[in-house]
Amino acid sequence: GDSVTQMEGPVTLSEEAFLTINCTYTATGYPSLFWYVQYPGEGLQLLLKATKADDKGSNKGFEATYRKETTSFHLEKGSVQVSDSAVYFCALSFNKFYFGSGTKLNVKP
């Protein structure tokens, strides 16, 4: 069945470090791919999306490229800030959403 696998956390980085959170998916076709972020005590917020192969989604310095050949959608940011500390969820969608288990990011000053 359709599913998403994310790297396990927590990921702890110093401010201004480079971030990569790996995400791979299994799907019978070509889904849309998403990254959502959840801050403590809040619901999920859309971070970025890509709807077809080779598309790059980007927002707030984060970016991810839809790689059909490796079935991946890794999240990257060149320089993280303390305010980026949150849980990040990778998701795929056909008619409904499948979420990964989330990766907690801690950024230290």
Partner 1 sequence: DAGVTQSPTHLIKTRGQQVTLRCSPKSGHDTVSWYQQALGQGPQFIFQYYEEEERQRGNFPDRFSGHQFPNYSSELNVNALLLGDSALYLCASSLVLGTGFAGNTIYFGEGSWLTVV
Supply angle C-alpha 97, 11, 108, rounded to 5. 125
The window from 14-22, 58-66, 71-79, 99-107 that contacts partner 1 (CB under 8 A) reads 99-107
Interaction between residue 3 and partner 1 (CB under 8 A)? no
CB of 51 to partner 1, least distance (A): 5
**Cα 29 from Cα 2, distance rounded (Å):** 9
CB 19 within 8 A of CB 9: no
CA distances to 54, 100, 108 from 45, rounded to whole Å, are: 23, 15, 22
The window from 10-18, 67-75, 78-86, 96-104 that contacts partner 1 (CB under 8 A) reads 96-104
**Cα 91 from Cα 99, distance rounded (Å):** 4
Q: Considering only residues 75 through 94, tell me which ones interact with partner 1, judged by CB under 8 A.
A: 89, 91, 93-94
CB of 68 to partner 1, least distance (A): 15
**What are phi and psi for residue 98, nearest 5 degrees?**
-120, 125
Report how many residues bind partner 1 under the rule CB under 8 A: 25
Q: Binding residues for partner 1, per CB under 8 A?
A: 4, 31-32, 34, 36, 41-46, 49, 51, 89, 91, 93-102
